[in-house]
Amino acid sequence: MTGCVNARSLGWIIVLLILLGSAPLSAASFQLTPREVEEAIQAGRRSVSAEEFGVEWQVANSAGAAITVVTPFYRLAQEARNAAFKQETLRPREITRVLRESNGRLSFWAVFEGSRPEFARWYLPVLLARGRQIKASFVQNERTALRQEEGRYLARCFYSFPTNELRPDDRITLLILIRDGREITRYHVDLGAIR
Residue 20, in any domain of the structure: no
Residue 13, in any domain of the structure: no
CATH number of the domain that residue 189 is part of: 2.60.40.10
Domain ranges, residue 82: 27-193
Number of domains forming the structure of the chain: 1
Residue in 39, 46, 49 with CA at minimum distance from that of residue 72:
39
Q: What is the pLDDT along the chain (195 residues), one digit of tens a residue?
A: 444 444 444 333 333 333 333 333 468 889 999 999 999 999 999 988 877 788 889 999 888 889 999 999 999 999 999 999 999 999 999 999 999 999 999 999 999 999 999 999 999 999 999 999 999 999 999 988 999 988 899 999 999 999 999 999 999 999 999 988 999 999 999 999 999
Residue 134, in any domain of the structure: yes
Cα 172 from Cα 79, distance rounded (Å): 26
Cα 182 from Cα 195, distance rounded (Å): 31
Residue 102, in any domain of the structure: yes
3-state secondary structure of 104: coil
Residue in 131, 133, 126 with CA at minimum distance from that of residue 108:
126
